[in-house]
Chain A
């Protein structure tokens, strides 16, 4: 029997090789190295499917591949820093999602980049390859430090790809912003990693010696941790560590208040946006929380904070999406909002719900972005929705698939997004009583549902319905198979992905066993002990309370409420925008409109805050230049001046050398005489 897990590194390395090939030889290859990327991601996808099948057959692995540093003396065990792979149901599922979306994005890029005559294609495909490889490395990481490294690589690749069109003014600035804002969060993450290693002496995710297991044992009193900062209670310290790591998550997954980079990141090529939003960068944050959920479940405060941030971001970003004029901007805010939902689910103890939404969102958001890309091709790179309209008859494939994605995003029955969003709200609802932060998150998440439906269908109606509002919209550029193919695949997935986890149907009809994802993440087919949703529920702080009647009633009421709200939003959008010549209705919002247009002035606030730190930065600079550099320069100048003086001795006159030699000999003899006692 072949051990499929020894091929797991190949999943990561294949896109990395495509990166090397595109970088080194891309300009000699046809299509700028695109086929290498397609072949590599296809290979990774097939291997991931194989891994998924193996996990379904009961396999799972937690294996250290290479230890690159080890040290004793910290904690009870020696600290080992290593690279390894952790394949369990969660990472196997994520591998398939990432490789599938990456493959489709590569294919789509053939239509979006090559057919549009872009230059610099080797750079583009190299970036895509490295991006995919970094994310895959992050997904299979078996410890927090390795995860952090690949997390940073993902950030680097986003910088490279967002700034792809570096000759225009916008993209480089957006790339820098994405890099700096996420780096601000990663700074806390880095401190968190160090804190975890210092506290537990290990950063492993899984196994009896992993840090979630050690933390659990220490809290139960059946174990202890290696170190906590003096006098701090263990529970408090674990909460602090959890919040530190959450800093990186908030940055990467674009949660309030570090979400500001994501709308600007729309400056990158559209397939890159699809990759960033659906499968790689933004997903990394939520995936990280899911990966170490055994740790977060131990600290109720952290969970409540996660839930509140998530719910707030879901509503907050959705409101900003209401007034945007550009297709990709609307999608950008919807991404922030949807990741808010996932955070809400994680904070509410809905581990499975979060992974479920991560999965469905990966498919329908990749679909929407690629659909937007198709529209942008058709519109000759004009993204303003007010110049579109009537595209539905001109590009039927794009329209139908985009509609499927939009229905999923809006959470309309029976599309994928309905099931996952409903489960998130359900989890938040049943766990909310007695948890004010969680209840606040739930209410905001619920409020965001109609808003989401409204902006989604405002976008659909403005783009595809009504009369064409510009010459390009009357005669759009046709798109080829390499655009339609990925759309068709993702469109089907957006419709059917909900089937993997039909919990409401199971609960209402009493059908057993159709909650496949629940059973999958509960290690029913195989997995690693301590990484199951059951375990997380056991150690988590929540218990379910049904505020309306029993469980079935709660399920039905919850689903009906969220579906009703979504339909309300849809109908309002229908009323306002599904007319032959829609007009802007934003003026009715009055003063709020400007606030929404300017994203609540958060960018301005951040810039203002950055300027406030000028004095601190100046002081640090003075300290660095004056004190730190002063010491270093002082030491070196002592050597320099000393050397300068002493070398004067070597003046080239042989007689003086002889004299010095003699003097030295005499001095030695005198010294020997004094110490030897000749003169006494």
Chain B
């Protein structure tokens, strides 16, 4: 661990994570393509990872880092399932636009 990393106060990490999270959220709310959706979700997860790692550094234990590893593994699995869903979506509707398939409604 470098002295530079530990000399940065945790607020900066939190601000960075919040910024990344908001970028992901903005993507989810504005984009209509399912692939962008997936990528935005990925961004939001990584924002959470930044928080985990930052606090692990701040408190000096490894729990947060372990959690970050878990989240990365989870994200990999999520991408596999997400892409599968998008493939099925494309097969059934011919588009990857999430606003087109509105079959699951009242």
Contacts and interface: CB of A to CB of B under 8 A. Distances in A.
B73 to A, nearest CB: 24
Interface string B45-75: 0000000000000000000000000000000
A659 interface: yes
Interface stretch (A112-120, A561-569, A650-658): A650-658
Contacts of B102: 651-653
11 contacts: A648-B106, A650-B105, A650-B106, A651-B102, A651-B105, A651-B106, A652-B101, A652-B103, A653-B99, A654-B99, A662-B29
Interface string A655-679: 1001100100000000000000000
A651 B37 CA distance: 19
A655 B105 contact: no
Nearest to B32: A655
Nearest to A650: B106
B101 A658 contact: no
Contacts of B103: 652
A167 interface: no
A654 B104 CA distance: 10
Interface residues of A, number: 11
A652 B25 contact: no
Interface of A: 647-648, 650-655, 658-659, 662
Interface string B90-106: 00000000110111111
Interface residues of B, number: 13
What secondary structure prevails in chain B residues at the interface with A?
loop
B29 A652 contact: no
A651 B106 CA distance: 7
B105 A652 contact: yes
Contact of B99 (A647, A650, A655): A655
Nearest to A649: B106
A652 B98 contact: no
B98 A654 contact: yes
Contacts of A653: 98-99, 102
A578 to B, nearest CB: 89
Contacts of A652: 101-105
Contact of B106 (A647, A655, A662): A647
Contacts of A647: 106
A334 B90 CA distance: 91
A650 B32 CA distance: 18
A652 B104 CA distance: 5
Contact of A662 (B25, B37, B99): B25
Contacts, number: 29
Given A653-B98, A653-B99, A658 B28 contact: yes
Interface in B1-51: 25, 28-29, 32, 37
B82 to A, nearest CB: 12
A640 to B, nearest CB: 14
A651 B28 CA distance: 17
A648 B99 CA distance: 16
A120 to B, nearest CB: 54
A655 B104 contact: no
B25 A655 contact: no
A658 B29 contact: yes
B101 to A, nearest CB: 7
A583 to B, nearest CB: 86
Nearest to A661: B28
B100 to A, nearest CB: 9
B21 to A, nearest CB: 11
B101 A655 contact: no
Contacts of B37: 654
A361 to B, nearest CB: 72
Contacts of A659: 29
A648 B98 CA distance: 18
Contacts of B104: 652
A666 to B, nearest CB: 10
Contacts of B29: 655, 658-659, 662
Contacts of B25: 662
Contacts of B32: 655
Nearest to A643: B106
A650 B103 CA distance: 11
Nearest to B31: A655
Given A651-B105, A652-B101, 7 more contacts: A650-B106, A651-B106, A652-B105, A653-B99, A654-B99, A655-B28, A655-B99
A363 B8 CA distance: 113
A656 B6 CA distance: 41
A647 B105 CA distance: 9
Most chain A CB within a 10 A radius of its CB, from B28, B37, B106: B106
Contacts of A651: 102, 105-106
A659 B104 CA distance: 17
Nearest to B40: A658
B14 to A, nearest CB: 15
A658 B24 CA distance: 12
Nearest to A648: B106
A662 B98 CA distance: 17
A61 to B, nearest CB: 66
Q: Which 3 A-B pairs have the closest CB atoms?
A: A652-B102, A652-B105, A647-B106
B106 to A, nearest CB: 4
A652 B102 CA distance: 4
Contacts of A658: 28-29
Nearest to A644: B106
Contacts of B98: 653-655
B95 to A, nearest CB: 13
B42 to A, nearest CB: 15
A658 B29 CA distance: 7
Contacts of A648: 106
Nearest to B102: A652
Contacts of B101: 652
A648 B102 CA distance: 13
Nearest to B30: A655
B38 to A, nearest CB: 12
Nearest to B34: A654
A648 B106 CA distance: 7
